[in-house]
């Protein structure tokens, strides 16, 4: 059994827990948290809940530590710190900072295998982008996200005065998808690719017109998009906007000679954090096997042969799935 | 420059030629054929056309030999023979015989890297099946092929007396696809997954009713499917049925806890052999790099890290595509 630890028990940590408990070749050994250990209520069977600062003491008890802290606040610390004494997997998702983050993990992972950015984007979508580009070099990649909840954009709305609750859905624009599927290789602005739909519960005394204006003009987050703001009641918010669906598409259209070729990959997810947790669990298995083969250092999904992800041996995999 | 040889100059060989000539890091050194070398007319720039029996003499001139012979008649010989002195790539596609074929290649590839079955199915579709199963273990894989030409089925029709020309299109059944996309995980018979549409040019004196009857009742090929047979004139056949489009879908629907998750991968190909040739060219690059790293033996697409497929260095790939 591959012994798994989870560092950080938010939504993704709970997703990893569910995936590990469902696997037949992995067992969850401990959950590490920086919150009070008595505030954590596990979804699955009872295992030790320990302060994250004591994690290193467990290095002989855990084969792979799955890092479920936030990319913006936790992983810059957790990545190199845990990679120095555990095999790790994370889903570090600040695309622009991956090379810098990877370098710090690489420096620490001299005797461990550290697979970073193993979610669905970065992660599965990156694999499709890289594979598609290699196979169809004369072509263009397009990535669409949604329809789904963007936590970053939801948080940005919540930071506005007078907002009690808020959620933001990114919605890909069908005309853009259709053009890409037809192989037209359009140049698309941010506005032409995605809509932003916001549902907001305002404080009773709040100025709704002002909130809406602050949202739609917010730089980086909303100003470059067509954004709709719908004010709803708290009951409706709780009834209809508590789920975390997501998904998206990667399409590459290209040519070989004069022939059009189109590759498309899509995800339709009822639970984004559970799907991300399932990916991380599969990469935890890969980290364990790669470490056993002495393949140490910082790795990405582009470095891991797919056979490492499966609980089946290679011959079975080749026979059943090739 | 990675020096490429092509063994077998049919439709796939021509597809490889086009892909290699379009790549900036590969050059085509020679085409090997068992036909008379003066009967071959290259699509691209002039390079030596040599008898396939002389291939071994070129082992110091060629980094990767791309095997484009037929899986049923050529590769059982070519695979182990060429793997003993060249890095090779092939698209061996007789699914049931892959383990046996792989063992013969493995025995020969003691100092070479031999990537087998690197097309789109087996190949890209296998990768998606394996990745999806690892990430969503509680789920089911479905593969649909088409709409596209099946050479095997077309040949089967052509073997019937009185048939002058024939082509068979495999067509996935939309109701089945829709059910899979809804996460219903249906049990589907062969008949429920694909239709078979046949276009036949009959000899002038032929008994069309008898030909149709022979097609629709043919065991293995047609008897288990809903098959339509349309007789057309030779002019229409030449005008409308000479292309080789293909494609298909791999869908995995599964659950994490009580949440539905659906992964879908699809290809829409105007030219099946050119797309297959492009895949093989990318895996030729991978074979070259893996051999340079001493990773010898028989490999499949499940064994090759995606970073090996690209002409970009790993850091660029991570920065641009992760």
Mark yes or no for CB contact B130/A309 under 8 Å.
yes
Read off the pLDDT band of B185 (50, 70, 90): very high
Q: State the DSSP string of B93-122.
A: --GGGHHHHHHHHHHH-SSSEEE-S-BBTT
**Which residues in chain B have Cβ-Cβ distances shorter than 8 Å to A279?**
135
Q: Which of residues 249-308 of A touch B (CB under 8 A)?
A: 256-257, 259-271, 274-275, 277-279, 282, 285, 300-307
**Using CB atoms and an 8 Å cut-off, which of residues 167-196 of chain B contact chain A?**
181
Q: According to DSSP H, which parts of B23-148 are helical? A: 75-83, 98-108, 124-135
- For the ranges A145-154, B6-15, B25-34, the lowest mean pLDDT is seen at A145-154
Average pLDDT over every residue of B11-21? 96
pLDDT(B45) > 90? no
Alpha-carbon distance of A111 to B39, in angstroms, equals: 58
Task: Give the model's pLDDT for residue A73.
Answer: 86
Q: Which tokens in the block code for residue B177?
A: 């696809």
pLDDT at A266: 98
Stretch A151-162: mean pLDDT, rounded? Answer: 93
Give bridge partners of residue A226 from the DSSP assignment. A195
Do residue A314 and residue B302 have CB atoms under 8 angstroms apart? yes
Taking only the tens place, the pLDDT of each residue in A181-233 is 999 999 999 999 999 999 999 999 999 999 999 999 999 899 999 999 999 99
pLDDT at A71: 85
Contacts of A25 in chain B (CB under 8 A): none
Q: What does the pLDDT read at residue B44?
A: 83
Does A22 lie at the interface with B, CB-CB under 8 angstroms?
Answer: yes
Helix ranges, A116-160 (H): 124-135, 151-158
Arithmetic mean of pLDDT over chain B: 96
pLDDT in the model for residue A251: 98
Chain A residues touching residue B260 (CB < 8 angstroms): 268, 270
Cβ-defined contact of A317 to B309 (cutoff 8 Å): no
Q: Which of A67-71, A101-105, A278-282 has the lowest mean pLDDT?
A: A67-71
Contact B64, B86 (CB under 8 A): yes
Q: Is the confidence at residue B37, as pLDDT, over 90?
A: no
Q: Which range scores top for mean pLDDT: A32-41, A102-111, A240-249?
A: A102-111
Taking CA atoms, A34 is separated from A16, A51, A69, A101, in Å, by 18, 6, 10, 22
Q: How confident is the model at residue B152 (pLDDT cuts 50, 70, 90)?
A: confident
Best to test chain B binding among A144, A266, A285, A302 (most B CBs inside 10 Å): A302
pLDDT category at B138 given cuts 50, 70, 90 is very high
Chain position carrying tokens 């090379």: A99
pLDDT of the residue at A37: 87
Confidence of residue B165 (pLDDT cuts 50, 70, 90): very high
In this predicted structure, the answer to whether residue B57 has a pLDDT above a threshold of 90 is yes
Tens digits of residue pLDDT in B202-233: 999 999 999 999 999 999 899 999 999 999 99
Query: Cβ contacts (< 8 Å) between A138 and chain B: which residues?
Result: 22
Q: Which of residues 73-92 of A touch B (CB under 8 A)?
A: none
Q: pLDDT (tens digit, 9 = 90+) per residue, B85-126?
A: 999 999 999 889 999 999 999 999 999 999 999 999 999 999
What is the number of other CB atoms lying within 10 angstroms of the CB of residue B218? 18
The interaxial angle of helices B98-108 and A314-321, nearest 10 deg, is 130
Span A158-175, pLDDT tens digits: 999 999 999 999 999 999
Please tell me the distance in Å from B268's CA to the nearest CA on chain A.
5
What does the pLDDT average to over B59-87? 95
> Which of B134, B178, B267 is the best substitution to test chain A (most A C-beta atoms within 10 A)?
B134
Q: How far is CA A5 from CA A16, A48, A310, B70, B129, in A?
A: 10, 10, 19, 49, 28
Residue-level pLDDT at A274: 97
Average pLDDT over residues B306-312: 97
Instruction: For residues B242-263, give the mean pLDDT.
Output: 95
B209/B217 Cα distance (integer angstroms): 12
Partners of residue B317 in chain A, C-beta under 8 Å: 130, 302
Residue of chain A nearest B311, judged by CA positions:
A134
Mean pLDDT confidence for B259-265:
97
**Does the pLDDT of residue B310 top 90, yes or no?**
yes
The average confidence (pLDDT) of chain A is 96
Q: Do A133 and B310 touch (CB under 8 A)?
A: yes
**Three-state secondary-structure class, residue B5:** strand
Contact between residue B199 and residue B232 where contact means Cβ atoms under 8 Å apart: yes
d(CA A159, CA B64): 58
């Amino acid at each position: 059994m591959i012994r798994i630890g989870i560092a950080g028990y938010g939504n993704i940590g709970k997703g990893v827990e569910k995936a590990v408990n469902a696997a037949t070749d992995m067992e969850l050994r401990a959950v590490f948290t920086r919150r009070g250990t008595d505030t954590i209520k596990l979804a699955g069977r009872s295992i030790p809940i320990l302060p994250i600062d004591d994690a290193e003491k467990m290095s002989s008890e855990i084969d792979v530590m799955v890092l479920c802290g936030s990319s913006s606040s936790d992983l810059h610390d957790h990545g190199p710190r845990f990679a120095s004494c555990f095999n790790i997997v994370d889903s570090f998702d600040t695309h622009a900072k991956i090379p810098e983050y990877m370098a710090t993990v690489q420096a620490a992972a001299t005797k461990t295998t550290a697979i970073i950015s193993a979610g669905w984007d970065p992660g599965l979508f990156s694999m499709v982008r890289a594979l598609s580009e290699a196979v169809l070099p004369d072509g263009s990649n397009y990535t669409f996200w949604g329809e789904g909840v963007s936590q970053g954009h939801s948080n940005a709305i919540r930071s506005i005065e007078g907002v009690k609750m808020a959620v933001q859905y990114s919605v890909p624009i069908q005309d853009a998808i259709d053009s890409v599927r037809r192989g037209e290789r359009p140049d698309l602005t941010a506005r032409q690719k995605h809509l932003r739909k916001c549902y907001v519960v305002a404080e009773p005394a709040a100025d709704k017109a002002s909130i809406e204006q602050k949202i739609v003009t917010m730089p980086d987050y909303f100003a470059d998009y067509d954004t709709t703001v719908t004010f709803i009641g708290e009951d409706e918010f709780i009834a209809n906007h508590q789920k975390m669906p997501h998904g998206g598409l990667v399409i590459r259209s290209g040519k070989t000679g004069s022939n059009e070729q189109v590759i498309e990959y899509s995800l339709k997810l009822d639970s984004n954090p559970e799907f991300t947790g399932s990916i991380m669990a599969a990469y935890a298995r890969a980290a364990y096997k790669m470490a056993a083969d002495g393949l140490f250092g910082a790795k990405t999904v582009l470095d891991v042969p797919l056979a490492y992800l499966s609980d089946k041996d290679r011959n079975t995999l080749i026979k059943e799935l090739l």
